Amino acid sequence: MPWHPLTRRNINLSLTLGWGALAFCGVAALAVVQDFLAPKVGREPRKVWRVGRVAEFTAPGMVYERFKRTPAGEPGFWIVNLAPAQPHLVALSTVCTHLGCIPDWLKADAKFKCPCHGSGFHLTGVNFEGPAPRPLERYGISRDADGYVVVDMTRVFRQELGQCDNRESYLMIG
Ligand code: FES
């Protein structure tokens, strides 16, 4: 490869290319750091849902399945009407407490049945068969100022820890 004479033009060209490359790397590094530090709020899956009016969930013993998965395909919840045993609506997590599969609601058997290893859960979410070690979790449920039922998946209540006496874990109906 021939040597180029060290002219002022060559020096200027080298400097320009060098500074350009450095600037490019700097901008790229800045973008990476900014992306790392930026709040991830917009990317978090949505956790609070306005699911409908109370009047849409009034059938005793009914399991409402349309929120079983979120629109993004994440595990969601069942809205369960516990009447007549209890005049309560609850939001049961659809995540099996064994290894995290999504059970099915078997209406004829009145139970949730996990397809993975056979765990069964009563309407209340309490486990009664299979390897699941504890009941399905419940999410926060409330009624907003406009009369809509709101489920807050950031609020988790565990029956086996006595947390389902908490007023935020159920919604009084009737
Ligand atoms: S994941 Fe549900 S029984 Fe194992």
| Parent domain of 69 | 48-172
Query: What would the two tokens of residue 10 be?
Result: 């060559």
**Domain check: are 11 and 55 in the same one?**
no
**Domain check: are 90 and 23 in the same one?**
no
Cα 112 → chain centroid:
20
Cα 146 from Cα 95, distance rounded (Å): 30
**Domain check: are 20 and 56 in the same one?**
no
Ligand 1 pocket, residue 115 CB under 6 Å: no
Give whole-number Cα distances, 167 to 20, 88, 155, in Å. 62, 11, 12
Q: Please indicate, yes or no, if residue 92 is contained in any of the structural domains.
A: yes
Query: What would the two tokens of residue 100 be?
Result: 């995290």
Ligand 1 pocket, residue 117 CB under 6 Å: yes
**Domain check: are 68 and 30 in the same one?**
no
pLDDT tier, 45 (very low <50, low <70, confident <90, very high otherwise): confident
Ligand 1 pocket, residue 96 CB under 6 Å: yes
Q: Write the single-letter amino acid at 155.
A: R
Which ligand 1 atom is the nearest neighbour of the CA of 119?
Answer: 3
Query: Whose C-alpha lies nearest to ligand 1, atom 3?
Result: 117
Ligand 1 pocket, residue 98 CB under 6 Å: yes
- Name the nearest CA neighbour of 97 among 154, 70, 135: 135
Helical segments of 38-155, H only: none
pLDDT tier, 1 (very low <50, low <70, confident <90, very high otherwise): very low
**Domain check: are 66 and 141 in the same one?**
yes
**Domain check: are 125 and 146 in the same one?**
yes
Where is pLDDT greater, at 42 or 169? 169
Q: Please indicate, yes or no, if residue 4 is contained in any of the structural domains.
A: yes
**Domain check: are 32 and 66 in the same one?**
no
Q: Separation of 12 CA from ligand 1 center, angstroms?
A: 69
Which ligand 1 atom is the nearest neighbour of the CA of 132?
Answer: 3
Instruction: Give per-residue pLDDT as tens, 112-157.
Output: 999 999 999 999 999 999 999 999 999 999 999 999 999 999 999 9
Instruction: Give per-residue pLDDT as tens, 96-107.
Output: 999 999 999 999
**Domain check: are 89 and 137 in the same one?**
yes
Which ligand 1 atom is the nearest neighbour of the CA of 117?
Answer: 3
Mean pLDDT of the chain: 86
pLDDT tier, 94 (very low <50, low <70, confident <90, very high otherwise): very high
**Domain check: are 54 and 7 in the same one?**
no
Q: Separation of 61 CA from ligand 1 center, angstroms?
A: 24
**Domain check: are 143 and 91 in the same one?**
yes
Ligand 1 pocket, residue 119 CB under 6 Å: yes
Q: Separation of 126 CA from ligand 1 center, angstroms?
A: 14
- Name the nearest CA neighbour of 121 among 168, 80, 162, 60: 80
Contact, 139 vs 152, CB < 8 A?
yes
**Domain check: are 88 and 19 in the same one?**
no
**Domain check: are 21 and 54 in the same one?**
no
Domain count, the chain: 2
